[in-house]
């Protein structure tokens, strides 16, 4: 794992559009991935819900999603950025991605821990994501609960609905 000074975690800017779209194309199939146009719309509406990890000036890893009052991640959320509601209780996660040549070095883990910390600071109820079966165990190590098969038909794949519920602190 890299030392803290070797990488930077920050929120996205519209000027990150090309790098964000490139990372998506490296990590997801055309059927599962978002288009450049979709990212452009998302970056215009909710750039603070993109967490980027850069190392040596390269976008290495990214988590992105929107906020809503809905506690179920629905397919329409991927394509309609206007559903985002900054006052919502749930942080939806659309993608957790790391460049293939940087995988298995803990970068996605660093980002996910940052997202969870930010969601906690924002006093949200938790976060929700969907993933394919082979990734369920990865998210469970962060305390994300597998709620079973999702109703999502995104990309024609089978997805599992996963939830991280914030614990009430006294």
Domain ranges of the chain: 4-165
Could you give the CA distance from residue 84 to residue 91 in angstroms, rounded to a whole number?
10
Could you give the CA distance from residue 60 to residue 52 in angstroms, rounded to a whole number?
8
| CATH, domain range 4-165 | 3.40.630.30
Where does the chain have alpha helices with state H?
17-27, 36-45, 76-79, 107-121, 136-140
Tokens representing residue 118 in the block? 């930010």
Q: What is the pLDDT of residues 12-43, one digit of tens each?
A: 999 999 999 999 999 988 888 889 999 999 99
Could you give the CA distance from residue 99 to residue 43 in angstroms, rounded to a whole number?
20
pLDDT at 169: 60
pLDDT at 30: 82
Q: What is the pLDDT of residues 98-107, one digit of tens each?
A: 999 999 999 9
Position 1 pLDDT exceeds 80: no
pLDDT at 19: 97
**Radius of gyration over alpha carbons of the chain, in Å?**
15
pTM of the model: 0.91
């Amino acid at each position: 794992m890299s030392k803290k000074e070797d990488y930077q975690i920050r929120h996205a800017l519209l000027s990150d559009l090309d790098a964000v779209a490139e990372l998506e194309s490296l990590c997801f199939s055309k059927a599962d991935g978002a288009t450049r146009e979709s990212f452009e719309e998302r970056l215009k509406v909710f750039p603070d819900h993109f967490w980027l990890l850069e190392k040596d000036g390269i976008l290495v890893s990214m988590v992105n999603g929107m906020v809503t009052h809905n506690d179920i991640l629905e397919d329409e959320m991927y394509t309609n950025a206007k559903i985002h509601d900054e006052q919502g209780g749930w942080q939806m996660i659309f993608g957790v991605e790391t460049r293939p040549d940087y995988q298995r070095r803990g970068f996605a883990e660093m980002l996910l821990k940052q997202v969870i910390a930010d969601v906690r600071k924002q006093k949200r109820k938790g976060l929700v994501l969907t993933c394919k079966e082979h990734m369920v165990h990865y998210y469970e190590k962060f305390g994300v609960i597998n709620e079973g098969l999702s109703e999502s038909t995104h990309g024609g794949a089978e997805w599992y609905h996963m939830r991280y519920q914030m614990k009430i602190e006294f």
